[in-house]
Amino acid sequence: MTAIRVQFTRWLYQHGRPNRLARILNQISALQFSNGKLAPHNWVTLEVPGRRSGKRVTFPLVIADHEGERYLVSMLGATSNWVANVRAAGGHAVIHHGKPENVLLTDVDPGVRAPILRRYLALAPGARPHMDIDPQASLPDFDRVAAQYPVFHVTHDPSPPTRHPAVVRTGSRLLGAGLILLGTAVATVAVLGPLVSGVLRYRTSPTSLNQIIGGDAAALAVVAPATIAVGVLALRGHRAAPVLALAPSIFVVYTYTQLILGNEFLRWPGNIERFFPLMLAVFVLAAALAIRAWQSTPTQGLPATSARADRTAGTVLLAIAAFVVIGLHLPNFVDAMRDQPTSMQYLSSPTAFWLVKFMDLGIIVPAAIAVGIGALRHQQWARKPMYTLVGAYTLIGASVTGMAITMTARNDPDASATVVAGSALMTALLAAVTCYLYRPLFRRRPTGLGTPDQDTLPPANLERGTA
């Protein structure tokens, strides 16, 4: 192994802990090893409950075979988190290589570790920079360092504890991959639209086009990154991922309904028809993810909310409903009822105008009122839709703020500095409330599912390096 490669490998694990890059590489390796088809037979992913959080923690490792038996070795010594977690779990763990195997890991006495350690270094050259011995050293030399490196005998466990979850559930993988794809697709549509390239041309008025440009800016700055971030949490098996996924999924369903159906197809020029398959695919994906996330979020599994949190959520949802009805829609609706309406937004794009009115007043506002009342009454059923609506409204607020800013910057006749300030303030308040309500989802729980906390993150084990 070259000197540069050795230095790089040691840099990944300075002070016996993985740095950020090592953790990312290990997450990729854990998925690769557990697949079984993309790695040699002795490359496995070990899963064990975190000793503090109780959450499942995964580690990519190399199995050393010796005299017909299997062994796991800690290249970073006895201080490795996975060693402490295995011992805290009584040796019960799960090994994944194509399919899970429940195993029992038993400490090997230092006096008999020497041949196992030598065999391990022969199979795991990536571990050599971290172990203070030459791979070709004699067995007596290995005996002298054997106490520094824990070795576990791997045997099949016919009666594993049922509390140990799988490494990454298929549902988590599908949800995570879908969210990452959704975030990427939302960003792609925004880049194709009038904000960046102008390849996708909507059949709508200049006023509505300004709103779409502002919405695309919010999609690139907020919605797409947030969706991808939740997808990463889902891939890591975080218990909060399904409920977090509801807000961006519902937001995309809401906005893409308007982007697809709100065009004036026979009045304004454009080419939105050519992108209908793409837009429809994004809509269907978002709807499917929303359904999947909803089904994966049992109300009983959500953390209990305090009376203060319920009051806050209920008040915010009812205030939003009142603002949407009285502040946003009522003035334009009254104007539209006149014999000669004057609102440019209505006159230039009546289809989008009535579509938004229908969705907001017929779906969003009634839902907000019902859930808001349920939250104020501390009803358990209101928790899941509460998280959904508060998060979705925050994303909508960011989008509306982007629209207001764009309309003002482009001197739109319907622009207003008051609307810019009001929407920005409302979005900031919604974001603060959302963070406050979402915070319990990230608290440690003795038996929760999720990714390991920072102090229980596994020390990455890049043991598969090449010589």
**Highest mean pLDDT: which of 53-62, 246-255, 432-441?**
246-255
pLDDT (mean) for 379-388: 90
Q: Which residue has the tokens 């006023």?
A: 207
| Average pLDDT of the residues in 144-171 | 69
pLDDT of residue 17: 59
Percent of the chain with pLDDT over 70: 82
At 55, list the tokens.
Answer: 């959450």
Residue 112 in this model has a pLDDT that exceeds 70:
yes
Q: For residue 208, give Cα distances in angstroms to 217, 332, 356.
A: 14, 15, 12
What pLDDT score does 287 carry?
96
Mean pLDDT confidence for 265-276: 93
Extents of the domains making up the chain: 3-166, 170-324+362-442
Question: Tell me, which fold does domain 3-166 have in CATH?
Answer: Pnp Oxidase; Chain A (2.30.110)
- What is the reported pLDDT for 220? 96
For residues 87-110, average pLDDT: 87
Tens digit of each residue's pLDDT (9 = 90 or more) over 122-157: 888 777 777 778 888 888 988 888 888 899 999 988
pLDDT digits (tens, 9 = 90+) for 2-40: 555 555 555 555 555 565 665 566 566 666 566 556 667
What pLDDT is stored for residue 84 in this prediction?
Answer: 86
User: DSSP assignment of 56-94, as one string?
Assistant: EEEEEEEEEEETTEEEEE-TT-TT-HHHHHHHHTTTEEE
Mean local confidence (pLDDT), 30-52: 72
Task: Report yes or no: 51 and 93 within 8 Å, Cβ to Cβ.
Answer: no
